[in-house]
Structure 1
Amino acid sequence: MSTPEIGDIAPDFSLPGIRLVDGAVEKSTFCLSARHGSPVVLAFYPGDETAVCTAQLCSYQSELAGFEGLGAEVWGISKQGVESHEHFARHQGLSFPLLADENGTAVRRYGVGLKGLGLRRSVFVIDSAGLIAWKHVSLVGAKFQSAGVIQQALAGLHVAS
């Protein structure tokens, strides 16, 4: 499946995930359509505890207040299971949701799969109406989009509305 374009309705999904809240792990199912009314940043990443993914997600964690100030929630999505995500979140102190796409449902719907390597490092900003407002899909994935760049895209949503 190809990657959806800016202005397209964001493909919906429902995935199991975890969130650290005051050191306790909360497990739940995260459904994108349930977030309509608020923007969501979907950060697809290849793997827990890998060097670039750790740097990426830790940078988003350190800038989490900036995302929240723009009314957005950040969701990390990879193909590892909930147990792997729980270990990763605890080890790195990540408090935003990490979703387990073990069957590749969201990866396929967003067209970010990479044969033999899992998935392309990708970020999608979904606006409050459920439309793709901004995206970046890496070819290789050794670099990631900074929190500042993503927050500029989010800030643009507030200007446009």
Structure 2
Amino acid sequence: MGLHEGAVAPDFSLPGVQVKDGFARRKTYTLSAERGHPVVLAFYPGDESATCTAQLCSYSEKLADFTELGAQVWAIGLQDLGSHETFAIKDEVTLPLLSDTDGSVVDAYGIRLPGLGLRRSVFLVGADGLIKWKHVALVGATFRSAGLIREQLAKL
């Protein structure tokens, strides 16, 4: 399904929003600009759904665990920035939420789910820009834990 481990991660630039201390900051996030340290890309189906909220809140709570390993964590959804911002403020999601409204990044990573948007997925992109680990869900009712992702990061 989609990209394999060891493949070059498709580069992209997407608008995103990050909420810290109640303030939303918008900027463009470019994957290739992060070369030199790992990036966790967490693709999620929808703002404010029960599973997505649980997933992104758990990643936000463990953000320090990722950053102490030098990693950035970005969540990517098909919703627009307004939806992401509302979601982040309401549910205290502190990691950047990137907006892929045209689905071009979802398509590049091979995780589109026809008629439903995208498959819940996590890609660990190494400092060299290669995919080091991935999980693509067949059904999006569950997600990979922050602890499991941290274990994969620690192996790099």
TM-score, normalised by the number of residues in structure 1: 0.95
* Cα deviations by residue, 1:59-108 (Å, 9 ceiling, x for unpaired): 10111110111111110000000000000000111111100000001100
Question: Aligned runs of 1:88-107 on 2, under 5 Å?
Answer: 88-107=87-106
Which amino acid in structure 2 is aligned with residue 7 of structure 1?
G
Q: CA deviation at 1:22?
A: 2.4
For residues 7-64 of structure 1, what are the alpha-carbon distances to aligned partners after superposition, in whole Å with 9 as ceiling and x for unaligned? 1110001111101132211111111001111100000000000000000001101111
C-alpha RMSD over aligned residues: 0.8
Q: Give the Cα separation in 1 of the matches to 2:76 and 2:64.
A: 20
Helix, strand or coil for the counterpart of 2:26?
A: strand
Verify: 1:6 aligned to 2:5, yes or no: yes
* Equivalent position SS for 2:58: helix
Say whether 1:40 aligns with 2:31: no
Q: Does residue 26 of the first structure (1) align with residue 25 of the second (2)?
A: yes
> What's 1:123 paired with?
122
* Unaligned ranges ≥5, structure 1: none
Question: What is the aligned partner in structure 1 of residue 108 from structure 2?
Answer: 109
Distance 1:92 1:44 in 2: 17
Alignment-derived partner of residue 137 in structure 1: 136
Question: SS at 1:42's partner residue?
Answer: strand
Secondary structure of 1:20's counterpart equals strand
Query: Any unmatched runs of 5+ in structure 2?
Result: none
- In 2, Cα distance between the equivalents of 1:37 and 1:21? 25
- Secondary structure of the residue that 2:155 maps to in structure 1? helix
Equivalent pairs counted in the alignment come to 156
Q: Distance in 1 between matches of 2:62 and 2:25?
A: 22
TM-superposition CA deviations, 1:122-146 (whole Å, max 9, x none): 0000011111000000001111000
Segments ≥4 residues shifted beyond 2 Å: none
CA distance in 2, matches of 1:83, 1:38: 29
User: How far apart, CA to CA, are the structure 2 residues paired with 1:88 and 1:36?
Assistant: 29
AA paired with 2:143?
A: F
TM-score with structure 2 setting the length:
0.98
